[in-house]
Structures are given as structure tokens and as C-alpha cells.
Amino acid sequence: MLNYQKYKRVPVMNYPEREWPNKQIEKAPMWCSVDLRDGNQALIEPMVVEEKIEMFNLLVKLGFKAIEIGFPSASQIEYDFLRELVDRKLIPDDVTIQVLVQCREHLIKRTFESLEGIKNAVVHIYNSTSTLQRDVVFGLEKDAIKQIAIEGTKLVKKYAEEFPGKITLEYSPESFTGTELDYALEVCTAVQETWEPDEDNKIIFNLPATVEMTTPNVYADQIEWMHRHFKDRENIIISVHPHNDRGTGVAAAELALLAGADRVEGTLFGNGERTGNVDVLTVAYNMFSQGINPELELEHVNEIIEIYERCCKIPVHVRHPYAGKLVFTAFSGSHQDAINKGIRAMRDRGQEIWEVPYLPIDPCDVGREYEPLVRINSQSGKGGVAFVMDTYFGYKLPKPMHKEFADVIQKMSEQQGEVAPDQIMAKFEEEYLQAAEPFEFLKVRVEDIGDTDSHAKLLFKYNDEDILAEADGNGPIDAVKNAIEEHVGMELKVLDYSEHSLAVGSDAKAAAYIQLMDKKTGNITYGVGLSSNITRASVKAMFSAMNRLSRKEK
Ligand SMILES: CC(=O)SCCNC(=O)CCNC(=O)[C@H](O)C(C)(C)COP(=O)(O)OP(=O)(O)OC[C@H]1O[C@@H](n2cnc3c(N)ncnc32)[C@H](O)[C@@H]1OP(=O)(O)O
Ligand SMILES: CC(C)C(=O)C(=O)O
Ligand SMILES: [Mg+2]
């Protein structure tokens, strides 16, 4: 049995004043990518400079206006990367570079050296304030920990005053979620008083869930409490930085926005320490799916995946929200049926607002237009097979035929697993279009008799013997049927007929579907015929059905 007694529960807050549960996200927050810092510091192989540049360019293209590019005082590669960005003039004027550093003078000094030539930067200092880290990492009391933050702020202030560009201070009480709230506020307020921000020079207080310790509602309570207790709130940008240890980083970010946060720090696909940082893409796509402009350029998710996977060397999971290979694909029958109907309903109604069962967004909106929405395996049903035949190959199988053909495909899938669209088509050809035994259609000529009746003259093979047959009927199909019946001793009844053209253009082919009953046996089946001439397509459909009926008899 799991030794659950080894762990203690994080208490919920007694905070009845909370207002966030009644709020809704109304607009995009300020986004800050920490891919090149928190993401990079968690990689087995951290990115090399060229990979960092590729990632940086991607982040700029996606519309991030704040990008934490690293910890330049930590290593030469981090330092050199920032210098490359400056020297190659890769930082657009509207993008602010952010750098992380501990509250230690030699590191802060080196950080400012790395920033030379930059017009606008955020210097992000942190020190852990949690009860646990105060105890086991620093071995310091509250005042001494607060003093680290104050000293760090003073140092940044000193170097900032000498720095020609504009410096914004970001301070993180690291491990905020493990810190007593009144103490976190006390430390932040000390930093605020030291830095002296105003409305034109706001300070960023980043309140990280360095380790996600409990349910996201508790994080929201903590953020709302800070939001309401900060003094001179108008001079402060509240930033959140959730990690994803419990798998609820996205929920934590969203609830924190309800609770008063202005800014979200996170990474693409949630790369980052341990289970990762919050996935900013998912937070943004979630907004988008609610009709809110996420203010990021996220139309080409495949391109984002490709660059991310190359730079981070981590594959995006097939079930990853909005991005995974399988997230716009249904295998199961009832889902496929509903998607099929939903897409058709939208098309028929000319509806602009997206409403398709099981698809929260239109895959085309994120560049996934070639996505196989429906993939066929043994869990699939008739709607899915019909959808594949229609969307891939243009065959609009009549509704009563869906089951007949789906049964054939299900047998295949039970034997082989997934059945690809081309295999479905090959089976369709084998079953309906290619059969020439015992009946092989050769020629037909149909003439009108008066307004309603027809005369058919037909040449076909039956068990390899040429047969010339003719008969009248109350239409072309009836005349052909009568001609056949006279010669082969079958009694047929046409139960259903439909046709459609297969492609637009002068050599457009018609597909005809006939459902025939063999009156002697009671067997029923569809046949399909294909021709540029609709009468020939119908007659071929009848021969296709007769061959299938003969096969059933055996
Ligand atoms: C939650 C986060 O993601 S925080 C960011 C983490 N990222 C990184 O650490 C990546 C880059 N870091 C590094 O390369 C290194 O840690 C460096 C270069 C910054 C510092 O290196 P070093 O000084 O050799 O080692 P280290 O980080 O272990 O330093 C530990 C010392 O710094 C102190 N310290 C740790 N954090 C801070 C801080 N934020 N402010 C001030 N002092 C700090 C510790 O108490 C410890 O002091 P001690 O030596 O008296 O025990
Ligand atoms: C440096 C800080 C903000 C951090 O990454 C964290 O607390 O997770
Ligand atoms: Mg972090």
C-alpha cells in the first residue's frame, strides 16, 4: 500500500471574501516566455546558441513582447547568447528582453555587462522565501531572507542608475506557494519600497508556483489575496509563473487571471523543470476557443511543434491539447458519426460560429487542415467509414449503404487494426467496382418510348457467355432489369437508387448506387457504378449489385 501518511496536506485558505470564482477571463494577459530560461535550464541537453536563436526568432514571430532569454551571469553560453542577440540586432524594438539573476553582487554586475547596448530590459531577481527553503537551504530567519531581497533590489537599482537603457525590476519570492502570505507580502513590500516604482515605471511581482503543491483554487486565493493587499497596486504588475507538478498548471494560470494577475510566464508546450512550466500555448488556445483574442500569432501550430521539437529535443505528446497528432482525430464510431453530422450541418447552414461535437475548435484555424479527423479501427462505426469515403474520395454513400460497407471494413480492422483511407478505397473498389463474375456488363443503349417508358438493349456476359437482351420498362433502370431477368432467371427488385457527380469538370464522373433485392432469396445489397454517362453508371451499379447477390448465394 502507498505510504500516504508520509505526506502532509496543504491547507486551503479561509478566505470567504474571494471574488475570483464569479469572474471570467475577458482579455489576454501580458505574456512572457521563459522557454529560453526555465525551459532551457530543464533540458537534458540545453540549447546551443544557434538553437536558442531559432527559438528566440520563433517566440518573436509568435508575438511575445517579453522574453526571458536566460541567466547570462550563470555561464558563458548564456552570456554569449545575449551578446549574439545584440550584435546581430535580433531584438525588435517592441520586444523586451528579460534576464534572471540571483540577489548576489557579482552575478548582478555580470548581468548588467551582458545587457550592454540594450534599450529596454527586465532584470528579474529572485530568492526563495518558503518555510522549507528558509529552513533547509538558507538556514536563515525571515528577516535575513527579506534582507537578501532588499540587497538584491538595491544592487539592481545601483547598476540600473548607471545603465543607459531602461530597466524594469521583476522580483520573485521564489517558492511563493510554500510561503506564508503575509510574509510574502512583507518581502515584496520591502522590495517595492526599495525600488520605488510608479505608474510609469511599474515593478513586476512574479508570484511563482515554483512547485505546484495543491489545487489551483488555492493558488487563485493566494493571488487574489496578494492582489488585494499590495499597496499602490497601480504601480505593480502581478505576474504568475505556475509549474505543473500536479498537472494543473494551466488551470492554475487561468484561475490566477480571474484572481487579478496581469501577466503569465510560461513556455511552449509546458517545457520546464520537472513536469514543466505552464503551457502558454494551451492557455492562449483556451482563450481563443472562448472567442477571446489571445494576442499571440498561433495559426501554425505545426511550425511551432517542428521548431520546438528540434530545439528542445522533446517530442510533443500525441494527446497534447491543440497540438498533439491525435487531438483532432476520432476513432470511435459515435464520435465519428457526430463529427460527420456536425460538419455537414455547419456546411448546410452556412454557419460561421464553430459548433461541431467533439471538436472544441476548427483544426483549420491552427493550420491542421489536412488532419485526418476520422481514423478507422475496430472502434469505428458506419458514420466514420462514410465520412472517409466522402472527404477523401468524394463518394456520398447513401445512408442505408453505410452499414453494409462499414461491416466489410470492420472485418478488416478486426484482423489488421487501423485501416487507412487508401485501404478503405481499395476494398470499396474490390467489393463494388471491380467485380465481373458471373455478370460482366459490356454495352447498353436505352431509348425513350413516349414520355415515361424506355426500351433497353443490353450486351453482357453471364458465366463467360455473351448475352444480347432487350426489354421495355417504366424507365431505363426498369427496362434494363427486365432485360436481365428474362435471360438469367433472377427476380430482382430495385429498393433504392441515387447518383451524384464525383468531380467538377467536363469529364466529371457520375457515381450511381442501386440497392437490389433478390426476390427468391430475400438477399439485399447495394451495387455501385461509375461512368461519365449516368445511364451507364446506373447499369453498372445494377451489375455490381447482381454480382454481390450471386456471391451471397454461394
Ligand atoms: C526556481 C528556479 O528556477 S531558480 C533558477 C535556477 N536556475 C539556475 O540555477 C541556473 C543557473 N544557475 C547557475 O548556473 C548557478 O547556480 C549560479 C552560477 C547562478 C550560481 O552558482 P554557484 O554560486 O556556484 O552555486 P549555487 O547556485 O549552488 O549557489 C548556492 C549559494 O547561493 C545562495 N543562493 C541561492 N539562491 C540565491 C538567490 N536567489 N539569491 C542569493 N543567494 C542565493 C545559496 O544560499 C548558496 O549559498 P551558500 O553557498 O552560502 O550555501
Ligand atoms: C525563478 C523563479 C521565478 C522560478 O522559475 C520559479 O520559481 O519557478
Ligand atoms: Mg520556474
Is pLDDT of 161 > 80? yes
Name the one residue in this structure whose C-alpha cell is 432467371: 489
The ligand with the least distance to the CA atom of 207 is 2
Residue 531: closest CA among 466, 442, 452: 442
Does residue 542 line the site of ligand 1, with CB under 6 A?
no
Global pTM?
Answer: 0.87
- Please give the C-alpha separations between residue 59 and each of 8, 297, 309, 317, 364, in angstroms, as whole numbers: 39, 10, 14, 20, 22
Is pLDDT of 507 > 80? no
433 DSSP assignment: I
- Domains of the chain (ranges; CATH) run 16-312 (3.20.20.70), 329-372 (1.10.287.1400), 382-433 (1.10.1220), 439-553 (3.30.160.270)
Name the one residue in this structure whose C-alpha cell is 497528432: 325
- Pocket probe mutation, ligand 1, options 35, 102, 245, max atoms within 8 Å of Cβ: 102
Residues with CB under 6 A from ligand 2: 38, 100, 126, 172, 174, 206, 208, 210, 241, 243
- Please give the C-alpha separations between residue 533 and each of 230, 445, 472, 500, 536, in angstroms, as whole numbers: 79, 11, 20, 11, 5
Does residue 176 line the site of ligand 1, with CB under 6 A?
no
**pLDDT, position 340:** 87
Confirm if 373 and 384 have CB atoms less than 8 A apart.
Answer: no
pLDDT digits 0-9 by tens, 446-458: 999 988 899 999 9
The ligand with the least distance to the CA atom of 211 is 2
Q: Does the N-terminal peptide bond of residue 438 adopt cis geometry, omega within 30 degrees of 0?
A: yes
Coil, strand, or helix at residue 347? Answer: helix
pLDDT digits 0-9 by tens, 481-504: 999 998 888 899 999 999 999 976
**pLDDT, position 49:** 95
- Which of the four pLDDT bands, split at 50, 70 and 90, describes residue 374? confident
